[in-house]
Structure 1
């Protein structure tokens, strides 16, 4: 089924759970469907789970699988939920894909946390996918960045233009 927007989930902090017994985060089921339902999104979309990994665990084969899913998708407007640590590396792997608006998005706190930036970031990404020209974009921290002109500033815990 073709929708107006395809949302591909790859894992990352946006989908993390906290387990007290383990004192660590683990990636759970994607929360994207729930977040978009809560936001009462009426624009036709579909969600496809590709993987559930921390972005530091992604390798070139994973990036190739993400790029193939994007290239093979019938939709031309695509949002990818992704961990923030290697988001720009995946963006580089997507650069050769022409004719599609691709927006990577993540969160600096899990969506399941009350003070998470996930819902806002996802909304920005969903809007960006609808209005930005073809290319690869990153929607984080209330800003839409050209994917080849941004980096994560770990000290500031934010994305900044370069």
Structure 2
């Protein structure tokens, strides 16, 4: 018998960002608009073997996400019955949201209520909208969902481009990569 836990119920929270952008829906509109949660389409294609629920918290470009929005994200995480939470987020400010949740004590045994301190939260996004053929959204969401199941401990994580980084230490480099600041040495 495997030592891995059976797949658990997952809460997926949409916040917007590039991953959720779609082509304009109205005549005369230009530029991408935040649409339905991109993860819905991804999961329809993948047909995962675990139960999940998708809630939309906000539909914003991540440069527009405020601490009030992060407080809403925190509230959803804290009040959720699920111990596994995936957040789809824009890449420009996902590091700030990860650190906000870490500072709030998510996954660190802080007593928000029964079992809340043991939650695993993984934040992911995409550099190109999910609706585009060459988007990285499917890969990042799939990797993030896998990371939720096997991450070494509870806490807040960022999953991008095949890397899983603790939320307390994630930084985005000038080249757009997400790395652990404890291992990052800038090019000179």
**What secondary structure is seen at the aligned counterpart in 2 of 1:24?**
coil
Cα shift at 1:82: 0.4
Structure 1: gaps spanning 5 or more residues: none
* Structure 2 match to 1:106: 125
1:33-112 matches, cutoff 5 A:
33-95=40-102, 96-97=105-106, 98-112=117-131
Measure how far apart 1:29 and its partner are: 1.0
Alpha carbon RMSD of aligned pairs, Å?
Answer: 1.5
Q: How many residues are paired up? A: 159
> For 1:85 and 1:52, how far apart are their aligned partners in 2?
14
- Separation in structure 2 between the aligned mates of residue 21 and residue 157 of structure 1, nearest angstrom: 32
What is the TM-score with the length of structure 2 in the denominator? 0.80
Counterparts of 2:99 and 2:43 in 1: how far apart (Å)? 27
Give CA-to-partner distance per residue, 1:28-87, whole Å, 9 cap, x none: 111212201201211111111111011110111100000000000000100000001110
Aligned residue in 2 for 1:149: 169
1:18 to 23, 37, 42: 23
SS in 1 for 2:131: coil
Higher-Rg member (1/2): 2
**Which structure has more strand as a fraction of its residues?**
1
Residue number in structure 1 paired with 2:112: none
Distance 2:96 2:176 in 1: 17
